[in-house]
Amino acid sequence: MIEITKSHKFSENMDGAALQNGIDLQAKHSWVTLHSLLHSERISYRQNGYIWLGDLLIAEISEERDGNIWSSIKYFMHKIAQAGTQDSLDTSNIPLSILLMCGLLKSKYNYIRWGFLFVLERLLMRCKFLLDEHEMLLSNSKILEHGKKDWHLEKANAVIDIMSSALSLVFQINETDRINILK
């Protein structure tokens, strides 16, 4: 199911006539399953959903656009900001994983809103590991040599930028309980 959700990540891929195909029906079923896990009353189900959602979010960053991890990070932050705007009615170009992460903040139950922080923490840790791996690849190919001083700063800034754009969703989406979720 995880692989299906990774390959079918936009809602427009599963709407209307596309559901005649068995794969698209499986994709819709997989996304519904993930949504159910995330909003379950059982903590073990929610935690499995958080792990699954974290994997999908890091897959968004892992897909290198233009052969560059930095453009993937900027794209990801742009999509988070786009999903967070209140007047965004057209969400067809926003990956479902980002919409689900935003949906955690919109829940009326605080135990589900707490899941946002769990997913964010997992995303940031995985992003750091991904950037470390990218650094290792660059250092092995000797591309990193002349800008090595700035690399650690860039890596830290990338993780902080993702955290900042995700935490700004708290203030954009959750109007009633903004600060309590961070306690």
d(CA 79, CA 169): 12
Kindly state the DSSP code that residue 1 receives in the 8-state scheme: -
Residue-wise pLDDT tens digits, 16-39: 545 556 677 787 888 889 899 999
Q: Half-sphere exposure of 71 toward its Cβ, with a 13 Å CA cutoff? A: 6
Residue ranges in the chain whose pLDDT is less than 50: 17, 178
- Sequence spans of domains, the chain: 2-182
The reported pLDDT for the residue numbered 48 is 94
d(CA 114, CA 161): 21
In sequence order, the β-bridge partners of residue 57 are none
Q: Concatenated DSSP letters for 70-99?
A: HHHHHHHHHHHHHHH-TT----TTS-HHHH
Whose CA is closest to 61, among 50, 72, 52, 53?
72
The reported pLDDT for the residue numbered 17 is 43
The three-state secondary structure class of 11 is: helix
Are the C-beta atoms of residues 105 and 174 closer than 8 Å to each other? yes
Task: Give Cβ neighbours of residue 84 (< 8 Å, ≥ 6 apart).
Answer: 102, 168, 169, 172, 173
Q: How far apart are the first and last CA of the chain?
A: 34
